Amino acid sequence: MTPDPRYGGPVPGRYWDRAVELISSSDEIALACHISPDGDALGSMLAVGLALRAAGKQVTASFGERRFTVPRLLRFLPGQDLLVEPGDYPAAPELMVTFDVPIVDRLGMLSGNAGKARELVVVDHHRSNTGFGTVNLVDPAAAATAVLAEDLIHRLGLPVDRAVATGLYAGLVTDTGSFRHSSTTPGVHAMAARLLATGLNPEEIARELWDRSPFGYLKVLGAVLDRVKLEPEVGGGLVWTFVTRADRAAYGLPYDEVEGIIDVVRRTDEADVAVILKEDDDGAWQVSTRSKGGVDVSRVCSALGGGGHTKAAGFTSHLPVEQTMAGLRALL
Ligand code: AMP
Ligand code: MN
Ligand code: MN
C-alpha cells in the first residue's frame, strides 16, 4: 500500500480494510508505542493487545527504551503482562503495529525492528506523522490514538471489556486533558460513554494518572517553580523553567514523575507559550512546550528535531539549558 505522507482527512476505508485483513490473518502480532509513553500511547497499545490476545493471537508489546520501565502512573493499566523488554522483541516481525508514534525515531530502540517488519501498521493522530508504515491509520482530527484504536478493535469485530476500555479511556482522558481541550467533540463524549458502560472506574483512573505522587514531588515542584522565568517580550509571552537530574535525585524521583509540571507552568496568563526542560537519566533534555494558540509549537519543535501538536509539542536537546532556550526564543 502506498504511504500517504500528509493526511487531510479521515483514514480511507481501504486502509482500514487492509489493516483488518493483515491483523485477522496473523497469529503473531508485535505492538509498539512511543518512548516515554503517555496514557494514550501505552493505553491504546495495551487495549488493542488485550483485545487481540482474547481473540487468540500471540501478542508482544513494548517501547524502545534501554532502561525499560513503565512510568509509575501508568502501572495501573491492565495488560502489563503483554510487555517485553525491547531486547526480547521480535527482530523482524511479520506484522508490527505502532501506537501514537509520529516518526520512526520515537520508536527508540525499536526503530530497527520496525524497519525490518514485513508489514507495519501505524495507528496515530499526529499531524506531523510521516506515514512510515505500510498501512497508515492516521487521522489528525482524532482526539487521541485511542479513538483510532477503538475503531480498529470494532472493525476487527472484537469486544471491548472493562480492561480494554480502561486503556482506551486512559488515552482519551490523557489527550483531551480530561475533556478540556478543543479536541473534545461530541464523538469524544460518545466514546467515553461507551467505555464507561463497561463498568470502568473513572475516579480511580484519574487518581492514578494525575492525583497522586510521592512526597518528594512537592519538594521538586517547589524548586522548579522557584526558578521559573517570565519573558513577556518573547512571542505572545514565554514562561519557562527546568528540572535537572540532580533536582530529582535529591528526592529519588524518577523522570516520569515530573512530566506533569508543565500543566502548572502553562497556567500563566501572561504567557502564550510555556516551556519546561527536563533532564532525563541519560543527561539529555526533554523539552515540553505548550501554546494557548498564538504560536504553533509543533512547527517550532519540528524545526528543532521534534514534533507534536499545534498546542502541545516537544523535542530533545543535548545542549545546555541557556543554549536550548536561545534556539527556542529565536523561533518564537
Ligand atoms: P510532552 O510534552 O512530552 O507531553 O509531548 C507533547 C507532544 O509532543 C506529544 O504529542 C509528543 O508526541 C510530542 N513530542 C514530545 N517530545 C518529542 C520529541 N522528542 N520528538 C517528537 N515529538 C515529541
Ligand atoms: Mn503520546
Ligand atoms: Mn496521542
Residue pLDDT, tens place only, 112-141: 999 999 999 999 999 889 999 999 999 999
What residues have CB less than 8 Å from 2, skipping those under 6 apart? Answer: none
**Per-residue pLDDT at 7 exceeds 90:** no
Residue 220 alpha carbon to ligand 1 centre in Å: 22
pLDDT of residue 8: 57
**Per-residue pLDDT at 3 exceeds 70:** no
Nearest ligand 1 atom to the CA of 103 is 21
With b for 16 or more beta-carbon neighbours within 10 A and e for fewer, the 129-166 pattern comes to bbbbbbbbbbbbebbbbbbbbbbbbebeebebeebbbb
Q: In what order do the strands lie in the sheet with 135-138?
A: 58-62, 28-33, 95-99, 119-124, 135-138
Nearest ligand 1 atom to the CA of 126 is 10
Query: What CA–CA distance (Å, rounded) separates 258 from 268?
Result: 18
- Count the alpha carbons within 13 Å of 135 in the hemisphere toward its beta carbon: 23
Query: What CA–CA distance (Å, rounded) separates 193 from 169?
Result: 10
- 3-class state of residue 95 by DSSP: strand
Q: What percent of the chain is predicted at pLDDT more than 70? A: 98
Closest-lying ligand to the alpha carbon of 129? 1
Cβ burial of 299 (10 Å; 0-12, 13-18, 19+) is middle
CATH 3.10.310.30 fits 215-331, yes or no: yes
Nearest to 170 by CA among 138, 221, 207, 137: 207
- Ligand 3 ion: nearby residues, β-carbon < 5 Å: 40, 100, 145, 175
Domains of the chain by residue range:
13-209, 215-331
pLDDT of residue 1: 45
**Looking at the domain that runs over 13-209, which CATH code has it been given?**
3.90.1640.10
pLDDT band at 160 (very low <50, low <70, confident <90, very high): very high
For the segment 158-181, the average pLDDT, to the nearest whole number, is 97
Q: Which residues line ligand 1 (CB under 6 A)?
A: 106, 288, 306-309, 312-316
Residue 314 alpha carbon to ligand 1 centre in Å: 4
| Mutation choice for ligand 1 from 33, 35, 36, 38, CB with most ligand atoms inside 8 A | 38
Q: What percent of the chain is predicted at pLDDT more than 90? A: 95
Within a 10 A sphere around the Cβ of 84, how many other Cβ atoms? 15
Residue 39 alpha carbon to ligand 3 centre in Å: 8
Q: What is the pLDDT of residues 268-319, one digit of tens each?
A: 999 999 999 999 999 999 999 999 999 999 999 999 999 888 999 999 999 9
Helix (H) / strand (E) element for 61: namely strand 58-62
Residue 48 alpha carbon to ligand 3 centre in Å: 15
The protein residue whose alpha carbon is closest to atom 7 in ligand 1 is 313
Nearest to 81 by CA among 163, 18, 200, 155: 163
The protein residue whose alpha carbon is closest to atom 13 in ligand 1 is 308
**Per-residue pLDDT at 2 exceeds 60:** no
- Given a contact cutoff of 8 angstroms between Cβ atoms, the answer to whether 289 and 313 are in contact is yes
Residue 285 alpha carbon to ligand 1 centre in Å: 12
The protein residue whose alpha carbon is closest to atom 12 in ligand 1 is 308
